[in-house]
Structure 1
Amino acid sequence: MSEREILTVTEAALEKILDLRASEDDAEDLALRIEVTGVQGVDFSYDLAFEVLSEATTDDVPTHAGGGLTILIPGRDLTKLEGATLDLPSNGNQAGLVLRNPNRPDLGPNATLELSGTLEEQVQEVLVKRINPSIAAHGGYAELVRLEGSTVLIKLGGGCQGCGMANATVTAGIEKTLTELLEGIDSVLDITDHTSGENPYFAAT
């Protein structure tokens, strides 16, 4: 695999990563995998983990970060991570690493949907790219709990949790969108505890 530079690792972050790697077995054989796992708010969410370099797939793109460290990035995530910087948090009291990424997810009604992977992953993509941007205007969001056959079980949060229009939001908006876009989805079931929000839809008994 030939190496190319996708993102930058600051000296402080590199030192931290190398220290962490040194505590692992076969440290010299380990690369750092960085991949995009989804969307959180208006930003991507990420997963960082050490992985044996020899186990990298043909889809992985390696980049040299210095200090003998190779970073592996899945080919599908290259454009999402290009130009990003891996650094330590600005707040010295905050642990871990931070990825400063100039790229943002393609959200909203015109967002591109890839609709690949498992049916559950496709449902998650539609929730993130189409549904949540729409209900975010009301301060709410929908979260996938699980699939049961052709039924999607969701929880509503934020402004939707105790909202009197919560059930209408599910049936008229979320269910309509999911059933139209995804073959194999027939219905949506809201399992939110609406008694926990303000103006709960279901009154406590």
Structure 2
Amino acid sequence: MDDVVSLGASVMGAIVCPSVERWGTPCRVRHMAPDTDTTVATDTIVTVTDQARAKVLEIRGNEPEPESLGLRIEVVGASGVEYAYDLAFEALTEAAEGDSVVTTDGLPVIVPADSVDKLRGATLDLPANANQGGLVIRNPNRPDPLAGVELDLHGDIADKVRQLLDQAVNPMLAAHGGFASLVGVEDTKVFLSMGGGCQGCAVSAMTLREGIETQIRAAIPEVTEIIDVTDHDAGENPYYSE
């Protein structure tokens, strides 16, 4: 059962965030303003697993006045098909109007108003690999891959797909050492091949489904199906091989 937090205490000072080594991601120092009322939330935006909650509470215990602090989770941008996040301890009195503030088992989670829809349904957890430090956010939401991109598409489906790959898709994949190529078009079906760092990559299926496919369907609505014909066994990190 979630406990809804509504606090209005006046606190002065600064929050000292834990180190990168302990936290696994940079923290920002947030100064606390006096006489600031928090906003009450009625639903959970981000679910925190028991393991992640225990870790966060352990770290928070090393901070001054830990009971006055909540964990702020904010979307600060996008990197390819994923959002970028900032996690920091923040005074509960700093929550602004419209922010979500929900406490579960002693840990208040603050989600800024402009991050609520982007984080709704996400889960904060420890990495699956026990040797990997930090925390992970599993978020079912994705950024709009065409936001801010001005496209100039013309011609038939094949022409438009090639132009989209050149103008939007491959610049995104280049940051990860990969690229996508058009293999062919049959009626309204598009066949793509992925190369470079995307060939044999364990997350290339997600990249195709949630990145490239989303962009193609949004920019070229006449396309009905996108098929990956990449020989992933030939990649540097094949994940189809036995």
Q: Classify the secondary structure of the residue corresponding to 1:51.
A: strand
In the alignment, which residue of structure 2 is the partner of 1:22? 61
Residue 97 (str. 1) matches residue 131 (str. 2): no
Contact 2:72 2:89 in 1 (8 A): yes
Aligned-CA RMSD value: 2.8
The answer to which structure has the higher helix fraction is 1
Contact 1:31 1:50 in 2 (8 A): yes
Instruction: Give distance in 1, aligned partners of 2:108 and 2:57.
Output: 11
Distance 1:112 1:54, change over 3 A: same
**TM superposition score normalised by structure 2:** 0.47
Map of 1:92-131 to 2, 5 A cutoff? 92-108=130-146, 111=147
Q: Classify the secondary structure of the residue corresponding to 2:110.
A: strand
Contact 1:36 1:44 in 2 (8 A): yes
Q: 1:81 aligns with which of 94, 98, 119?
A: 119
Contact 2:47 2:122 in 1 (8 A): yes
Could you tell me which amino acid in structure 2 is paired with residue 34 of structure 1?
I
**TM superposition score normalised by structure 1:** 0.55
Contact 1:61 1:73 in 2 (8 A): yes
Cα deviation for residue 159 of structure 1 reads 7.5
54-63 or 36-45: bigger deviation = 54-63
**Identity %, equivalent residues:** 45
Instruction: Give distance in 1, aligned partners of 2:124 and 2:91.
Output: 20
Map of 1:141-160 to 2, 5 A cutoff? 141=175
Instruction: Give distance in 2, aligned partners of 1:9 and 1:132.
Output: 39
Cα deviation for residue 56 of structure 1 reads 1.6
Structure number with larger C-alpha Rg? 2
Q: Classify the secondary structure of the residue corresponding to 2:127.
A: coil
Distance 1:85 1:132, change over 3 A: farther
Q: Give the total of aligned pairs.
A: 126
Cα deviation for residue 15 of structure 1 reads 0.3
- Write the deviation string for residues 71-98 of structure 1: whole angstroms up to 9, x where unpaired: 1111111111011000000000000110
Distance 1:59 1:134, change over 3 A: same
Instruction: Give distance in 2, aligned partners of 1:18 and 1:28.
Output: 10
Contact 2:75 2:115 in 1 (8 A): yes
In the alignment, which residue of structure 2 is the partner of 1:54? 93
